[in-house]
Amino acid sequence: MQIEGRNAVKEALDANLTINKVMVDKNLRDRKDPLLFLLTKSRIKIEYLPKNVLDKKSATAHHQGFIAQCVDFAYSTEEDIFAEAEKRGEDAFIVLLDGIEDPHNFGAIIRSCECAGVHGIIIPKNRACTVNETVIRTSTGAALNMKIARVTNLKDSIKSMQDRGIWVYCAEVGGKDIYKENLNKPIAVVIGSEGKGIKPTIKNMCDGILTLPLKGNVNSLNASVACGIVIFEVLRQKSK
């Protein structure tokens, strides 16, 4: 897996991701660059290359002089997510993604979840975006600080959480006004795919539907925007 950009490489280093080597713009070699100092201190292999060579190797055109070659992303388990909540001494706060396929949306969701203190994200193994270079870059490295689990069946995950006393809500139209619902409890929120929303079979399993009041003519929001609004309302209530 290739990680590009100063912040993303720094996050990979902080997250103890296995980095095989970092390709660096040779113009940075003689500068007192803090990231270069950290890479050297961590004994990461550095290969200095001309900028035009890095440009050709870059998949994003935004490498900022740093391209790291790392092992593939290491997914967590559901138990890891529950353990994270217990370690923090907090009620569970989890997000489930039902078929998010756009890596930019996925990355933005991860970034919002990390900022809001979500303990983990659960995604299906099939018909959904995986954690890739674009996701990590879009999340500005937050993906490397977030526990993300891939499961065969989201319905099994929902049932498992409900058995643990976690309330599972889906974010969809036609439900209760999110600002009038008590969300200060162990909670998981399901966010649907960009085009089809949440599958009816999953929606029917949820304990409730949270709806954002909309004033405009468009009756839906981008998945990452909706997720951000919902999880920060949960955080607001939990912070009272």
CATH class of 2-70: alpha beta
The secondary structure of 110-168 as a DSSP string is: HHHHHHHT--EEEEESSSS----HHHHHHTTTGGGGS-EEEES-HHHHHHHHHHTT-EE
What are the structure tokens assigned to 120, written together? 């983990």
The span from the CA of 171 to the CA of 226, in Å, is 8
**pLDDT score recorded for residue 7:** 85
pTM of the model: 0.81
C-alpha neighbours within 13 Å on the C-beta side of residue 123: 23
CA-only gyration radius of the chain, Å: 20
Lowest-confidence segment of 72-81, 134-143, 168-177, 228-237 by average pLDDT = 134-143
Greatest alpha-carbon pair distance for the chain in Å reads: 60
Q: Give 73-130 pLDDT, tens digit per residue.
A: 889 999 999 999 999 999 999 999 999 999 999 999 999 999 999 999 999 998 899 9
Q: How far is CA 74 from the centre of its chain?
A: 13
- The whole-angstrom separation of Cα 197 and Cα 171 is 9
CATH H-level superfamily of 78-238: SPOUT methyltransferase, trefoil knot domain (3.40.1280.10)
Domain extents for the chain? 2-70, 78-238
What pLDDT is attached to residue 219? 67
CA angle 43, 46, 47 (to 5 degrees): 160
For the chain, how are helix, strand and coil distributed in percent, rounded to 5? 40, 25, 35
Q: What is the pLDDT of residues 151-194, one digit of tens each?
A: 999 999 999 999 999 999 999 988 999 999 999 999 999 999 87
Q: What is the pLDDT of residue 206?
A: 96
**pLDDT tens digit sequence for 19-76:** 889 999 999 987 788 999 999 999 999 999 999 999 998 887 789 999 999 887 889 9
Cβ distance 197 to 103 under 8 Å? no
